Amino acid sequence: MKYAIAACLLISLSGCSVKFFGFKGSYPNTPIVIYSDRTKDQVWDNLIDFFAQNGIAIKIIDKASGLIVSEKMAIPWTYEDDKNKLKDPRAFVVIPDIYIPGSDKPALPTEVQASWNVRLKTEGARTSINVNLVNLDAKYLDKYTFYVSAAKQKYPPEQINGRTTGIFEKSLADIIK
């Protein structure tokens, strides 16, 4: 009898949980490393210009160590489609589908935010630029009244396992090469 009750409890709980689906497409591993034949100072100036021209606020800036960390900001995001391709090929981040119990459509976030961590190093005659997507989170509040941090999931509040699509890094590479 104890086992039957435990089995029923497990079955009922698994049917009510939020479902997170992984990625089927292939996305770059971070950090993404870009190389330039320009000097560290030239690349630094281009990075500062890039951040300024794109309205990206800088939280930490340390030229001596070559570190720039952006403020957390809203970023363009997307999901994968049925063919494992990005629904929006211009998005900087792909996020997993999250399904609410009783829904056959993924919940749409009201906001996706992250920070960019960029580090420059001189490597011989060239400069390496390490670009990391950090502190990625999404807020959900839709017709299912689902809000990740309020739902007290096992995952850290609001954090999601998204991936960079490489679009941000490519635009950065285009201005420093």
Residue pLDDT, tens place only, 71-120: 999 999 998 888 889 999 999 999 887 776 677 777 777 788 999 999 99
Query: Taking the CB of residue 71, how many other CB atoms lie within 10 A of it?
Result: 12
Give me the percent of the chain exceeding a pLDDT of 90: 51
Which pLDDT score, from 0 to 100, does residue 104 have? 75
Q: Is the pLDDT of residue 9 over 60?
A: no
Q: Give domain limits for the chain.
A: 27-176
H/E segment holding residue 167: helix 167-176
Q: What is the mean pLDDT of the chain?
A: 79
Q: Which residue has the higher pLDDT, 47 or 159?
A: 47
pTM of the shown model: 0.76
Complete edge-to-edge strand list for the sheet that includes strand 163-164 = 77-78, 93-94, 163-164
Give me the pLDDT at residue 16, please.
43
Q: Report residue 28 as tokens.
A: 């770059």
Exposed, middle or buried: residue 146 (CB in 10 Å: 0-12, 13-18, 19+)? middle
Q: Which residue has the higher pLDDT, 14 or 88?
A: 88
Residues 6+ apart with CB under 8 A from 158: 137, 138, 139, 148, 149
Fold topology of 27-176: Alpha-D-Glucose-1,6-Bisphosphate; Chain A, domain 4 (3.30.530)
Q: Which residue type does 162 have? A: G
- 105-109, 134-138, 163-167, 168-172: the lowest-pLDDT one: 105-109
Question: Residue 151: pLDDT band by 50, 70, 90 thresholds?
Answer: very low
